[in-house]
Amino acid sequence: MPNITLSGVAKSYGGGDYAVKNLDLTVPDGAFMCLLGPSGCGKTTTLRMIAGLEQPTSGTIAVDDRILDSVERGLYVPPEKRGMGLVFQNYALWPHLSVRENVEFGLRMRKVPAPERRAKAEAALRMVHVDAAMDRYPSQLSGGQQQRVALARMLAINPSVLLLDEPLSNLDARLRLEMRAELKRIHEESGATIVFVTHDQLEALTMATDIAVMNEGELQQLAAPMEMYARPANRFVAEFVGSPPMAIIDVVPPGGGRASTGLAASLTRFAESRVGPCAPAAVGVRPEALRLGTPPSGAGWREEAVVEAVLPAGSSWTVRLRVLDTELYAVSYTPVDAAPGDVLDCWTEQMHLFDADGIRIFSLDGAEVRA
Amino acid sequence: MAVATKAETPPSPPPPPPRLRRLVYRLRVLRHEPTAALGLILVVLLAYLVVAPLVAVLSDAFRVQYGDDVHAGQQAGEWTGYYLWRVLRSQISGLLFWEPLLNTLVIAVGTTLFALVIGGGMAWLVTRTNVPGRKWLAGALVVPYMLPSWTFSLAWLSLFKNERAGGQVGFLQAQGIRTPDWLAYGAMPIIITLGLHYYPFVLLLVGNALRRIDVQLEDSARILGAPRRTVVRRIVVPLMLPALSSAVLLVVGRVLGTFGTPYVLGLPADYRVLSTGLFQSIRDRSTGVASVLATVIVIIGVLIVFTDMRLMREHRRFVTVGGKGAMDRLGDLRRWRWPAFALGLLAFGVSVLVPILTLLLSTVTRTPMDLKTFTLDYWFAERLPGAVGFPHGVFRGAEMWEAAWNSLRVVGLASLICAVVGLLVGYVVVRGTAPKVAAFLRQVSFLPYLVPGIAFAAASLSLFAVARGPIPALYGTTFLLILVMAVTHLPYSSRSGIAAMTQLGVEPEEAAQIAGASWWQRMRRIIFPIQKGALVTGVVLPFISGLKELSIVIMLTTTGTQLLTTLSIGLVDYGYTQLANAVVLVIALVSFTMTYLTQRLTKSSLASGIGG
């Protein structure tokens, strides 16, 4: 099973702008890796370079020991010889071929004899539950079915590397939920290495075994989902992963110097009381870590908060608070019985401290200090 | 499991590898990606077939030609202003240039006005009023455009020809009514017959524009208190200006390059226009003069199209594209409904029925239109007394069949080449691996649009009439005919090719690539099958237009390579009016049937192919 390595990969479209800057990334064998980032961060370019549809300006891309691209050594393997599977965002089903012919195409290119081709295509279509629509044309299918056919087309050739370019973004919410589970199942059943591009952090957290967060062509962090959630490498990752986003309060006020009052100062004092002097530049608190009411043992940080708005959302309640003149959001999973203007206690045992470059110094979680 | 790795220092792009390394890598990539090679081939091809002829004709205009060294007082091949002087300032320049130029302008203006009045009026009738049978009228009034443009001039001769030129006289003269020269030949008949051919052009352009005007714009003016007449003057007409100016300029451009009608109706009365003048200079082997004339026609053509594009761009700034407001709301003609219908019927009768019936009758009667002298000899007789060069009916003997076969072969191949090259241009442009190549292809494939066909044919003669390097002289070969015809139709096919490929996008091909298909397999199994429809239209539209084409081929055909159109003109030269008419009827029938079938089968409208 393959191990995809990118080393020193850069991609420029000319004019000094880089879509991907010096990327070093290893996708471990059998991983389900998400390339996560905002649009224009270089994640799709990276995926297309792995597929061979775009060529790097410099660097090397390899699967195991097989070098697919090496600008330095002048090596290149065209996409059709890489043997990977790719699902496009818009599926790119061929309109003039029936569902069955679409799925059989890759096998035909591999000169698989007809009976075997047929059996494999049917198996792939059964796997994604569209075997009933086998003789229809793509234009006669719903969006969800088209998506499944695109998956089946890729699975039929049984590739060891599967690439998916935002394949769920054109589906409605219910189908998306269903397909997430489906993709996870396919990953487990096929044992293939999957690289999945998305801008949806929830998608990444729910499906991936590893997440690579990218921004402006640079890799920000590579980690397992919960690891990334618990220990974001920097402010960008902290704000991008998690919803609603982490609140990050700058310690250094705009005027310079060190504030002794305000929310940031209060949070810093609490952190320093735990670990000694550490001088963070910013402190982040996740909304779901911010609790309302009296802390159980008095161990965490606590402050008085004025309720500004309560936004119920069925299973959770989002509350907008004003704490020491700073706006904060809290998410509660128990009903919040408060009205705007009420004064409550809020507290937390989890916070993340960042230095002046935005790099995380450490995180506090109850009594634990995580580097 | 992967571990958090965050570089301590933010990564900067690595220095690009040495130029040579990058080159080796690029070449490796290109070896698997024939798009770039294809792009280069197309660039060379288009440069040779489109740009080189224009350069050659320009250079011929300023170089002393063989045999002219005595007159010019210079060695053959030297640079000279002699031809320019001869055309513009010499004693015969009035005959060579100024008079034909003036005549061309008169005809252009006259034809345009004629086409505007009829086409504009009919457009308004069929789009904005409740005239009875408007759907039928809208279709029927486009038919003249499906006939070869000089059909009308032959019909005109059949009616009004006098004894001035040889051959059989027209219907009126045969009845003993003398038709004066001004009625039989010259400006007036040319303007009327060309106008009858080109008014559908105006009808389609203006009709489309009228249909697109948002009725809400008119309603707003009405609500603000503007009387109906003011609404038309202040709202509708200004909004129609782009379509009107476009129609005017395009008709002028067409008239500039048209050959058949002024040849048939002008030359017997020594009424010359630029296109016939160019043709005669080529016939007389005055290559230098012909080159100057061709250059002038090219320049005027380019100016016209640029003016049109300029105007369109300026208008586009304030033209609104109607949304759902562009509904059909028809003005009620009340008691004028039936008179209006009669008017439409009259236009149809004059532009379709009368010419066709006249031609038909003339081919089945010995005395023009006298059914008592009914005969099928001109179609089927094995022996036609008195006709020397063509001593039998058109369906007998080899001439017509050979010409038909030539037409089919030449036009068919040219259309096929045109469609495939057009689609490939679209492919290369959309794949966009090399932006400069794409820009070149886009612009150069459009270039023939700027050049009237007859001038482009003259330019091709300059380049291909003599052997140059490894390419032998192509004059008189069907190959040259095919090439020139394909190139002149390239603008439309490359435009539709680009549109079709843009709509398809690159993803279907990339998906096939990922699935393991080689470039050739991708082309064969994905791109061409998906673009089948576009390809068929891309063949059929140039085919129909090419079948009727005369101005482009008239200078390139020889006795061995007659096409139907040139055969018909040749018969006019001999004075075999009935035979010429019969051949034109055959062309008209084929072209009309094909257009009709294409519209039926592909549901495409002629308006989209109106550029042709």
Q: Give dist(CA A170, CA B583) in Å, integer.
A: 59
What average pLDDT does the segment B504-513 reach? 91
What is the ipTM metric for this complex? 0.85
For residues A111 and A219, membership in a common domain is answered with yes
The answer to whether the Cβ–Cβ distance between B510 and A224 falls below 8 Å is: no
For residues A198 and A254, membership in a common domain is answered with no
The torsion angle over the Cα atoms of residues B51, B52, B53 and B57, rounded to 10 degrees, is 110
Boundary (domain end) residue, out of A234, A264, A281: A234
Q: Which two tokens stand for residue A322?
A: 């004003």
| Residues 6+ positions from B17 with CB-CB distance below 8 Å | A58, A71, A72, B25
Q: Which of A24, A26, A80 sits opposite B513 (nearest CB)?
A: A80
What average pLDDT does the segment A332-345 reach? 89
Boundary (domain end) residue, out of A175, A207, A234: A234
- Neighboring chain A residues of B512 at a CB cutoff of 8 Å: 94, 105
Q: What are the b/e assignments for B27-48, b being 16+ CB within 10 Å?
A: ebbeebbebbebbeebbebbee
Coil, helix or strand for A165?
strand
In a domain, A240, yes or no: no
Q: Band the pLDDT of B88: cuts 50, 70, 90.
A: confident
For residues A113 and A258, membership in a common domain is answered with no
For residues A50 and A105, membership in a common domain is answered with yes
Q: Which of A80, A222, A359 sits opposite B2 (nearest CB)?
A: A222
CA distance A80 to chain B (A): 4
For residues A209 and A108, membership in a common domain is answered with yes
- Neighboring chain B residues of A51 at a CB cutoff of 8 Å: 514
The answer to whether the Cβ–Cβ distance between B514 and A95 falls below 8 Å is: no
CA distance B419 to chain A (A): 20
Q: Give dist(CA B199, CA B201) in Å, integer.
A: 5
Query: What is the per-residue pLDDT for A260?
Result: 63
What average pLDDT does the segment B457-477 reach? 83
Q: Which amino acid is at B420?
A: V
Contact (Cβ atoms closer than 8 angstroms) between residue A94 and residue A102? yes
The answer to whether the Cβ–Cβ distance between B521 and A51 falls below 8 Å is: no
Q: Pick from A89-98, B31-40, B228-237, B601-610 the range whose average pLDDT is largest.
A: A89-98
CB-facing half-sphere around the CA of B423: CA atoms within 13 A: 20
Which of B1, B3, B6, B526 should we substitute to test contact with A (largest number of A Cβ atoms within 10 Å)?
B6
CA distance A320 to chain B (A): 33
Query: What is the per-residue pLDDT for B46?
Result: 92
Query: What is the per-residue pLDDT for B160?
Result: 85
The answer to whether the Cβ–Cβ distance between B515 and A209 falls below 8 Å is: no
Query: What is the per-residue pLDDT for B7?
Result: 43
Spatial strand order of the sheet with A193-198 comes to: A85-87, A161-165, A193-198, A32-36, A210-215, A218-223
Phi-psi region at A35: left, alpha or beta (left = phi > 0; alpha = psi -120 to 50): beta
Q: Which of B113-117, B251-255, B418-422, B521-525 has the lowest average pLDDT?
A: B251-255
- Neighboring chain B residues of A75 at a CB cutoff of 8 Å: 25, 28
- Neighboring chain B residues of A23 at a CB cutoff of 8 Å: 11
In a domain, A241, yes or no: no
Query: What is the per-residue pLDDT for B610?
Result: 38
Task: Count the domains in chain A.
Answer: 2
A·B CB contacts under 8 A:
136
What average pLDDT does the segment A185-204 reach? 90
Comparing alpha-carbon positions, the chain A residue that sits nearest to B511 is A92
Higher pLDDT among residues B136 and B604, named by residue? B136
**CB neighbour class for A335 (10 Å; exposed up to 12, middle 13-18, buried from 19):** exposed
What average pLDDT does the segment B296-302 reach? 88
Q: Which of A22, A105, A224 sits opposite B12 (nearest CB)?
A: A22
Q: Give dist(CA A136, CA A151) in Å, integer.
A: 16
In a domain, A239, yes or no: no
For residues A263 and A228, membership in a common domain is answered with no
Q: Which amino acid is at A174?
A: R
CA distance B513 to chain A (A): 5
Q: Pick from A5-19, A257-271, B388-402 the range whose average pLDDT is largest.
A: A5-19
| A254: pLDDT strictly greater than 60 | no
Query: What is the per-residue pLDDT for B15?
Result: 73
Average pLDDT value over all residues in chain B? 83
Q: Which of A96, A209, A223 sits opposite B4 (nearest CB)?
A: A223
Query: What is the per-residue pLDDT for B166?
Result: 67
The length of chain A in residues reads 371
Comparing alpha-carbon positions, the chain A residue that sits nearest to B507 is A92
Q: Which of A8, A23, A79 sits opposite B513 (nearest CB)?
A: A79
For residues A188 and A257, membership in a common domain is answered with no
pLDDT by residue (tens digit) across A352-368? 999 888 899 888 887 77
Cis-peptide, bond into residue A244, ω within 30° of zero: yes
pLDDT by residue (tens digit) across A124-154? 999 888 889 899 999 999 988 999 999 999 9
Query: What is the per-residue pLDDT for B609?
Result: 38
Q: Band the pLDDT of A51: cuts 50, 70, 90.
A: very high
CA distance A219 to chain B (A): 8
Residue A333 sits in a domain of what CATH number? 2.40.50.140
Query: What is the per-residue pLDDT for B190?
Result: 94
For residue A200, the enclosing domain spans 4-234
In a domain, A109, yes or no: yes
What average pLDDT does the segment B327-339 reach? 75
Residue A116 sits in a domain of what CATH number? 3.40.50.300
The answer to whether the Cβ–Cβ distance between A88 and B511 falls below 8 Å is: yes
- Its sign, for the CA torsion A202, A203, A204, A207, is positive
Q: Give dist(CA A11, CA A54) in Å, integer.
A: 9
Chain B residue set in contact with A, beta carbons under 8 Å: 1-7, 10-17, 21-22, 24-25, 28-29, 32-33, 507-508, 510-518, 521, 525-526, 529-530, 532
For residues A155 and A34, membership in a common domain is answered with yes
Which of A90, A109, A236, A370 should we substitute to test contact with B (largest number of B Cβ atoms within 10 Å)?
A109
Q: Which two tokens stand for residue B282?
A: 């080529």
Q: Which of B3, B12, B517 sits opposite A109 (nearest CB)?
A: B517
For residues A30 and A134, membership in a common domain is answered with yes
| Residues 6+ positions from A334 with CB-CB distance below 8 Å | A317
Query: What is the per-residue pLDDT for B612?
Result: 31
- Neighboring chain B residues of A26 at a CB cutoff of 8 Å: 2
For residues A192 and A63, membership in a common domain is answered with yes
What average pLDDT does the segment B186-191 reach? 91
Residue with token string 């550490």: A278
In a domain, A41, yes or no: yes
| Residues 6+ positions from A15 with CB-CB distance below 8 Å | none
| B6: pLDDT strictly greater than 50 | no
In a domain, A15, yes or no: yes
CA distance A341 to chain B (A): 43
Q: Give dist(CA B330, CA B341) in Å, integer.
A: 15
Query: What is the per-residue pLDDT for B243?
Result: 80
In a domain, A350, yes or no: yes
Comparing alpha-carbon positions, the chain B residue that sits nearest to A68 is B29
In a domain, A140, yes or no: yes
Comparing alpha-carbon positions, the chain B residue that sits nearest to A23 is B11
Boundary (domain end) residue, out of A200, A234, A268: A234
The length of chain B in residues reads 612
For residues A226 and A323, membership in a common domain is answered with no
Coil, helix or strand for A160?
coil
CA distance B14 to chain A (A): 6
Q: Which of A74, A90, A106 sits opposite B515 (nearest CB)?
A: A106
Strands A317-323 and A301-312, how do they pair? antiparallel
The answer to whether the Cβ–Cβ distance between B512 and A88 falls below 8 Å is: no
- Does this model's pTM top 0.95? My answer is no
* Percentage of chain B exceeding pLDDT 70: 92
For residues A154 and A42, membership in a common domain is answered with yes
- Neighboring chain A residues of B433 at a CB cutoff of 8 Å: none
Query: What is the per-residue pLDDT for B348?
Result: 92
Query: What is the per-residue pLDDT for B447?
Result: 84
What average pLDDT does the segment A162-183 reach? 87
